[in-house]
A and B are shown apart, each in its own frame.
Chain A
Amino acid sequence: MTESNPAAAVRVAEAPADRARTFAWNPGLVIGLVILVVVALTAIIAPLVFGAQATGVGSDPGQSASAAHPLGTDTLGRDMLARTLVATQSTVLMALFATALSSVVGIALGIGVWLAPRRLRELGLRLIEFAVSYPTMLVAIIVAAILGQGVVQVVVAVAVANIAGFARLTANLAAKISASEYVTTARLMGVPVHRLALRHVLPNMAEPILILIAGAFSGALVEISGLSFIGLGAQSPAFDWGTLLNDGLSRIAVNPIVIVGPAVALTFTSLAALMVGDGLAAAANPRSNSTRARLVRAEGEPALVAIEGDDVVLIADGITVTHGSTGRPLVSDVSFTIRRGEVLGIVGESGSGKSLTASVVARLLGEGLEASARRLELGGTDLIGRVSGRTLASKIGLVYQDPGTALNPALVLGSQLSDVLTIRLGFPRRGALGLLARAFEAVKLSDPEGRLRQHPHQLSGGMKQRAMIASAMSTKPDLLIADEPTTALDVTVQREVLSLLKRMNEQSGTAVLFISHDLGVVRALCDRVLVMKDGRIVERIDDVATLSEDTVEHPYTKQLLAATPVVAVPREARS
């Protein structure tokens, strides 16, 4: 899952623990399904009830709307409402068969291509790409031209035209899923390929394929009616919404009412399928329904009684974070200070509230959360209430967990990293780039000017994190907040980055708030450590040097300590 969609994964990880990845019903999905059920019932019942009325010749042809014929009559005097309702059956069946045919063949092709030997797969993928790049409607027209006119031909034509779409999606998904850990594992365990396909790959595609099916059904409706419109559709005595529309459209200026029935039916059925598709997508990927983030001042006695000296950079007193809509507490009454030149570590498992605490300090609280603090001051600036962007930008530097996602993939480094300097700190562009280049040099990035012209994807993870640190330090902040800056990196790169952070801290004297789940990393870097669990600080370790299972009190800390090997941060070789 993390492989396929980091954004979703992050969202899920950030969500409160009780909100697992469940299927969330939403209004669009419900409305869409309800309309489809109504359509299905109409398709079954209407021909039985209105069959005779829809086909038998009536006595008043070409009528406009009247009480007897609310949607008018066609040129044979047949009631258009009855005809529209009766046509539901043939239209829906045609679209259903076309969708079923194209999805079954398309999925089979997609899986087949993925299972095929490499060369055949390459060829197959190319063929599919080729087919997809061809207009669906034209493929349908060509097939209809080859096969002739008629209901079956139309179904086949539309099905053939949509096969490529299914095949491509299936092949892409199969490629993605087959790269995932569990499939790789299953493969290593010798599970045969076809069983892999059936047991592991197919079920994991269900969601996107269902969404595509909904879309394809909606498309098939429109395409079938389009074929009817240009005269390649169902022929008498069969009739569908497309033929009814086609008959009516040429008289739109004379008797407009007769197109209302088929047009509305077609639009709403297609809309319903669209809503189901969107609804499924939304249900599979629920976004938090939330309010704007807030940070307010809490009343009460300060927990930090003795705050002394000028060298205190950050005072955080009584940080509390609650979930906006449920009011559930996520962080409860967390207080700490950081001195100049000090590295404070916060350690805890995911969901412990450590990152939330950091985000309150950084004034970057996520949507839907409410935070309060009795006191929150950074270098003498009160962070509760209105603070200018300029102040925040110059006082706080931020380094994030995953340098791969924290940098904008579409912009070159120089462009994105210099914005804060030019826009917030008033540097001229050239000056900002020069400053960045020097900062890159300081973090030991080779060819700093060249790097500035590169896109993030051209750098390795470690290099990106160095660039990130260089950028964070370029504003000469009072406080550097590093939120799990090494978690996403390889072990060797981790150590490089840690030593870099240590060096920056020592050279510039910038205070660092270091968040990690890894006590080993934290104890190697930090001067003091806070241990958090379930939103509370359970242990304050002031003397990291002598840290051992005996010097801590809380069982959780002991447990953590027992599980972590000692990490030594080597001093960087000075050049």
Chain B
Amino acid sequence: MSTTTADSFAAPGPGTPESTRPVKAATLAGAWRTFLVRRVVGLIVNLALLVLVTFLIVQLIPGDPATAIAGESASLGQVELVRTQLGLDQPLPVQLWTYVSGVVQGDFGDSYRYRQPAMDIVMTAVPYTLTITIAAVVLLLVLGIALGMAIGVATRGDRRRWLDLSFSVVTGIISSIPTYVLATGFVVVFAVLWRVLPPAYSPAYNIGAAAILPIASLSIGGICSVARIVRRETAVILEQDYMRTARGWRLPTLTLYVKHMLPNLLTTALTLSGIILTALLGSALITEAVFAWPGLGGVIVQAIAVDKDYPVIRAAVFVIGLISLVMTLIIDIILGIIDPRTLGGKRD
């Protein structure tokens, strides 16, 4: 989440002047068409990059990848078997071609450890990870924006300094605690001491109940980060000319903040949410370990740290990348609906 502060510079926030763009058609249809075409092309290019990156994961292993992958007790024969399995004995372009044609059919090869298609293993875990990440992102945006906006309005023009200060201190501390420490703390408090929530995933529990603590620990740091950003953004928006214009119309407070300020805040918040989501996916990988959550985190850490199960690593990396790309696209579409200015933007 740490990058969000700086990224707000780059975001097309409300402070960014739009260049005098030539008038387009009276409707946004044209803008949407261009946007979608551009984004679909972008998605394809990014997917191609993703395939390339996952291809390179094995190529970049120092030394002889086949030996490294086959592991310690492998005989020379087994090493050669791995080499053939991965096609590492082929020339590079051939390897790439084989890999790409496999990937196109969703075939990343069989897991070394489980001897099942790697994609199946990854897809079993994906719903679990998505469940907690999406819920966390939604919570984080809703609560983060509400909190940040409330504090921003309450402390506008340097009112209530004590509130501003305590908000900064509390949210700063919470967002500085590593997620997995927070998660462990939650488990101790809610599951061990008070015993009101399940401590971890287990077939004995309803999945909804077991998801509460993972979602809470994933989102709370993010809520604080988003609230800090939104609070700052609120201060900036309150000083914008269009807010003065709205005050010039003597609009009631509620209309002023909800109708005239919120959409602009959403633009910033949603622009950030792509970054937040990817950051969340990252911390979900670690947080899952605390809750024995049967998601991608376990799959990836096990595949990397224990099994060196490269087909699974490739499939998991590909799927996470795909999730990031699709999420970014969805967010940009929502963004375009809220604020059509972004349709022309160069954000991808």
Which residues of chain A have a CB within 8 Å of any CB of chain B? 3, 5-8, 10-11, 28, 126-127, 129-130, 132-138, 141-142, 144-147, 162, 165, 168-169, 172-173, 208, 211-212, 215-216, 218-219, 222, 225-226, 229-232, 245, 249, 252-253, 256, 259, 263, 266-268, 270-271, 274-275, 277-278, 281, 287-292, 362, 364, 367-368, 389-390, 392-393, 396, 398, 400-402, 404-411, 415-416, 419-420, 423-424, 447, 450-451, 453-455, 457-461, 463
Contact = CB atoms under 8 A, between A and B. Distances in A.
Contacts of A226: 178-180, 283, 286
Question: Which residue, B250, B279, B301, B341, has most C-beta atoms of chain A within 10 A?
Answer: B250
A404 B15 contact: no
B122 to A, nearest CB: 13
A11 B184 contact: no
Contact of A271 (B176, B239, B275, B340): B176
B10 A410 contact: no
Contact of B10 (A172, A232, A404): A172
Which of B2, B28, B245 counts the most A-chain CB atoms under 10 A from its CB?
B2
Nearest to A396: B248
A552 B88 CA distance: 91
Contacts of B192: 253
Contact of B259 (A173, A290, A367, A411): A411
A141 B168 contact: no
Contacts of B236: 7
Contacts of B317: 138, 142
B278 interface: yes
Contacts of B226: none
Contact of B245 (A219, A390, A406): A406
A138 B338 contact: no
A453 B241 CA distance: 21
Given A28-B168, A405-B242, A137 B181 contact: no
B6 interface: yes
Contacts of A263: 177-178, 181
Contacts of A407: 242, 245
Contacts of B156: 367
Contacts of B328: 133
Given A249-B184, A458-B24, A398 B245 contact: yes
A409 B341 contact: yes
Given A134-B321, A362-B248, A267 B177 contact: yes
Nearest to B5: A215
Nearest to B289: A230
Nearest to A137: B282
Contact of A147 (B9, B62, B301): B62
B17 A134 contact: no
Interface in B20-56: 20-21, 23-24, 26-28, 42, 45-46, 49-50
Contacts, number: 292
Interface stretch (B96-104, B137-145, B260-268): B260-268
B286 A208 contact: no
Contact of B246 (A146, A408, A450): A408
B305 A232 contact: yes
Nearest to A392: B250
A404 B254 CA distance: 24
B15 A212 contact: no
A290 B62 CA distance: 60
B227 interface: no
A409 B246 contact: no
Contacts of A290: 157-158
A31 to B, nearest CB: 10
Interface in B99-139: none
Contact of B9 (A6, A169, A245, A410): A169
Contacts of B23: 458-460, 463
B246 to A, nearest CB: 7
The 9 A-B residue pairs with the shortest CB-CB distance, nearest first, are A137-B282, A219-B2, A135-B282, A212-B6, A389-B250, A410-B263, A420-B249, A145-B304, A367-B157
Contact of A278 (B5, B61, B259, B340): B5
B15 A222 contact: no
Contacts of A389: 250-252
A419 B3 contact: no
B181 A249 contact: yes
B9 A172 contact: yes
A180 B207 CA distance: 55
Nearest to B236: A7
B248 A141 contact: no
B163 interface: no
Given A135-B285, A275-B172, A411 B21 contact: no
B305 A252 contact: no
Nearest to A359: B244
B26 A450 contact: yes
B312 to A, nearest CB: 11
B3 A212 contact: yes
A7 B240 contact: yes
Interface string B305-317: 1001000010001
Given A129-B347, A216-B3, 8 more contacts: A6-B15, A7-B15, A133-B321, A146-B61, A169-B9, A231-B301, A291-B157, A389-B250
Contacts of A138: 281-282, 285, 300, 317, 320
